[in-house]
Amino acid sequence: MRLDERLNMGKQDIDKVHVIRGVIDRRYTQVEAARILRLSDRQVRRLCVRVCADGARGVLHGLRGQPSNHRLDPELLGMALSAVHDPLWDEFGPTFAQQKLEDRYGIVLSDETLRKLMILTGIWESRRHRAKHRAWRERRSCLGELVQLDGSPHDWFEGRGPACVLLIFIDDATSRILYGVFIEVESTLHLMRAAKVYLRKWGRPIALYVDKDSIYNVNREASVDEDLRGEGPITQFTRAMSELAIEVILANSPQAKGRVERGFDTHQDRLVKELRLRGISNIPDANEYLWGEYLSEHNRRFAVEPASPADAHRPLLDLHDLAAILSVQVDRQVSNDFVVRHRNRFFQIGPQQPVRVCRKAKVCVQERLDGSIRLVAKGQRLKFHELPARPPRRLAPRVVRTKELANKAWRKTRPLVNPFYAGFTLAPSVPTNPPASALRW
């Protein structure tokens, strides 16, 4: 590869290069790498050969940026959709519609392809499948492949101190508690702070297994903008994990993440008694004991050996700015006077910026974990300062019409005596041609 040649690689490609390099350096086996990358071991061997020959370029597909060789003819798909939109074909299922397309028009498509087309155009809705029978799930094979995350609100101090929540990161392969912390409430900011400590200590796991709490799942339909982008609503925590290439898996039941749920039964029994014996009644002292003694003793007693000695945690890359990723990000609109409002605070954008900022444009407001605020537009940090109060509104001057001015001038000069009484005449100061609106009285 030439020195001036650049590779356009995403985060997943960089992670793939890291794993393949580990196989070449004999830090992973081919089977372990295949499980981490979710590929076959045969494909891993191919990637190893290509990386040895071409370097990092070997993980990139040769047809990247080019249309697929197996794509269907767009004209054929358009003819099929035109036929399916026929009012006579209302409520036709994909299988029945596929048969009619082949019988009447000679259009040969699979029923699965037609089903996807009908769903995309709103003709057909995907049916929900019945819940499958719950069965035992085998542990993952190596550390960091799946980490279960949950919080347990409980009276940990038995009335001696404030209410709090124990947050636990437990590995699925080993039942080892990788990190735990007492927090006031299970909120997005506290969860991001705990995740930041975990990521710096262990690296990025392959997936997180969580429940359907509002921190991880949004229980609403997609907005218009999200629908146009083809995205569903996600929470701030899920958005941050996706930027770090960490999959967030939602459990359908508490039994599905039994490692962490059964662990809380043990903690609510043993940990409560240990805190009582030591007279601990506040969160800082409880965290000091948790990190110093309890977690290491718990892992020594209850952790098991994984099927594979490899560690699936991936290192943090230079492009991962944790301060920006682990922040609450909200889009706000720039007003006409270049002021951005967020949580009843007002930020004035300066005239000199690294990128062009227009009125009514969207600006991302980052509320970071240390309480600071950043304004970002087009990936660039903007220069701004906070205003002490809301800027006053500028009212436009009132424009008075010429006819209205004439009416006011005539009323000021009209006589005090009714001119319709006999024997009286109009005052000489009254205009000879009064406005039409004055004749009504």
pLDDT band at residue 424 under the 50/70/90 scheme: very low
Query: Look-up: residue for tokens 């080993």?
Result: 174
User: Pairing relation of β-strands 207-210 and 177-183?
Assistant: unpaired
**Is the pLDDT score of 231 beyond 80?**
no
Structure tokens at 12: 């997943």
Structure tokens at 184: 């006031």
Mean pLDDT confidence for 228-233 = 68
86 or 251: whose pLDDT is higher?
251
The tens digit of pLDDT for each residue in 392-421 reads 776 656 655 565 555 655 555 555 555 444
pLDDT band at residue 5 under the 50/70/90 scheme: low
Query: Look-up: residue for tokens 């043993």?
Result: 270
Break the chain into its structural domains and give their ranges: 11-59, 74-120, 147-302, 327-387
The mean pLDDT value of the chain amounts to 83
User: Which residues sit opposite 394 in a β-bridge?
Assistant: none
Of the listed ranges 89-103, 294-308, 315-329, 420-434, the least confidently predicted one is 420-434
pLDDT band at residue 181 under the 50/70/90 scheme: very high
Of the listed ranges 30-44, 187-201, 408-422, the least confidently predicted one is 408-422
The tens digit of pLDDT for each residue in 59-108 reads 887 777 777 777 888 888 888 888 887 776 666 778 878 877 888 888 88
Q: Burial letters for 123-149: b for 16+ Cβ neighbours within 10 Å, e otherwise? A: bbeeeeeeeeeeeeeebbbbbbbbbbb
The pLDDT value given to residue 219: 74
- 250 vs 350: CA distance, rounded Å: 43
**Is the pLDDT score of 386 beyond 80?**
yes
74 or 209: whose pLDDT is higher?
209
Q: Burial letters for 291-320: b for 16+ Cβ neighbours within 10 Å, e otherwise? A: eeebbeebbeeeeeebebebbbbbeeeeeb
Helix/strand/coil for 314: strand
Mean pLDDT confidence for 372-387 = 92
**Is the pLDDT score of 422 beyond 70?**
no
CATH for 147-302, options being 3.90.1170.50, 3.30.420.10, 3.40.50.300, 3.40.50.11270? 3.30.420.10
Q: Burial letters for 169-205: b for 16+ Cβ neighbours within 10 Å, e otherwise? A: bbbbbbbbbbbbbbbeebebbbbbbbbbebbeebebb
Structure tokens at 403: 């006819």
